[in-house]
């Protein structure tokens, strides 16, 4: 993005001027109203169009810009509860366009992307899972709703962030039920500037060779052993927690104190002491990882 301008301010002003015009505005008119160089505003408009905020129409010989249908403004943090309820409603109704639009609008309104994940998307993942567990929806519907949420997670990952190569994290789930939550965590780490290695569902990796396989992978992606490496595992069974904790602890002996193991699970009392941190709260895991990184830098 072009330097010298605050993106969120430009979005706010752009929405205001386009809302006031029912017939659309040309790039030149927008540049004049916002008092921004024409070439600069053209670059912004192209980016905002890709984000779904504005659209362009050719009317005669003139290219005019309009606000995309469904765009609305929110005030954060006050509107997080409202967005959470509306988003969950759209997800449960299976209307992906409306669900994705409300998240786009939240991002355009300056919402913290991490908070969107922890306060909007993750509660919806849990609600869909609960509906499935209690028999309110079947497997087909659950997969359909999960796919809507996955699309929402993808929207968050489009948020531009500078990656800190000293903040490394590997994220995976030990079963398919935790896969979507692991994806949400990956997006949260992304917007916090971490270098992500997302391994997906690793249930098929449960064999005696996993520790060697993991060490090879670490050697490939963490070549200079710079900074911090955290392995975050999403699990819901004692057996998988035991297997992966033993395999990863074996790797910790080779890679030193910069390698840490974190479990995201509700079975916090069952987890072995070799684990560096255990929680079922992704926000707390993010905070712990950041604290560990900062302590290494001091």
Q: What is the pLDDT of residue 4?
A: 41
Per-residue model confidence (pLDDT) at position 195: 96
HSE-up of residue 249 (Cα within 13 Å, Cβ side): 14
Q: Which CATH code for domain 7-67?
A: 1.10.10.10
**Torsion angle, alpha carbons of 95, 112, 12, 54, to 10:** -40
- Residue 214 confidence (pLDDT): 95
- pLDDT per position as a tens digit, 252-268: 888 988 999 999 998 87
Distance of alpha carbon 215 from alpha carbon 209, whole angstroms: 10
**165-193 average pLDDT score:** 96
Q: CATH topology of 80-157 equal to that of 164-297? A: no
pLDDT in tens, 67-102: 887 777 788 999 999 999 999 999 999 999 999 989
CATH of 80-157, one of 1.10.3720.10, 1.10.1240.10, 3.30.565.10, 3.30.450.20: 1.10.1240.10
Query: What are the domain boundaries of the chain?
Result: 7-67, 80-157, 164-297
1's tokens? 């993005």
pLDDT attached to residue 271: 59
The second-level CATH assignment, the architecture, of 164-297 is 3-Layer(aba) Sandwich (3.40)
Query: pLDDT-based confidence at 3, cuts 50/70/90?
Result: very low
Contact between 107 and 138 (Cβ < 8 Å): no
What was the pLDDT predicted at 1? 41
Helix axes 38-50, 27-34, angle to 10 degrees: 110
pTM for the full model? 0.81
pLDDT of residue 146: 98
Q: Is residue 39 over pLDDT 60?
A: yes
- Average pLDDT along the chain: 90
- pLDDT(272) > 60: no
């Amino acid at each position: 993005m072009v330097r010298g301008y605050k993106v969120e301010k430009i979005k706010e002003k752009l929405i205001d001027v386009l809302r006031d015009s029912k017939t659309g505005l040309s790039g030149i008119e927008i540049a004049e109203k916002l008092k921004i160089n024409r070439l600069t505003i053209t670059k912004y408009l192209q980016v905002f169009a890709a984000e779904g905020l504005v659209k362009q129409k050719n009317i005669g010989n003139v290219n005019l810009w309009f606000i995309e249908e469904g765009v609305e403004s929110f005030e954060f943090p006050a509107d997080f509860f409202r967005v959470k309820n509306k988003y969950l409603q759209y997800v449960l109704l299976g209307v992906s366009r409306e669900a994705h639009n409300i998240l786009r609008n939240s991002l355009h309104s300056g919402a913290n992307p991490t908070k969107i994940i922890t306060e909007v998307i993750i509660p919806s993942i849990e609600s869909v899972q609960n509906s499935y567990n209690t028999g309110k929806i079947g497997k087909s519907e659950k997969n359909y709703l999960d796919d809507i949420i996955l699309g929402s997670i993808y929207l968050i990952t489009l948020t531009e962030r500078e990656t800190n190569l000293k903040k490394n994290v590997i994220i995976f789930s030990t079963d398919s039920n935790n896969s979507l939550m692991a994806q949400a965590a990956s997006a949260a780490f992304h917007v916090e500037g971490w270098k992500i290695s997302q391994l997906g569902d690793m249930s098929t990796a449960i064999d005696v060779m996993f520790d060697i396989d993991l060490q090879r992978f670490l050697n490939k992606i963490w070549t200079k052993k710079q900074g911090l490496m955290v392995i975050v595992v999403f699990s819901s069974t004692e057996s998988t927690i035991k297997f992966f904790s033993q395999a990863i602890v074996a790797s910790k002996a080779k890679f030193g104190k910069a390698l840490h193991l974190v479990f995201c699970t509700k079975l916090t009392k069952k987890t072995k002491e070799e684990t560096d941190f255990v929680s079922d709260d992704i926000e707390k895991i993010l905070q712990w990882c950041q604290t560990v990184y900062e302590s290494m830098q001091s």
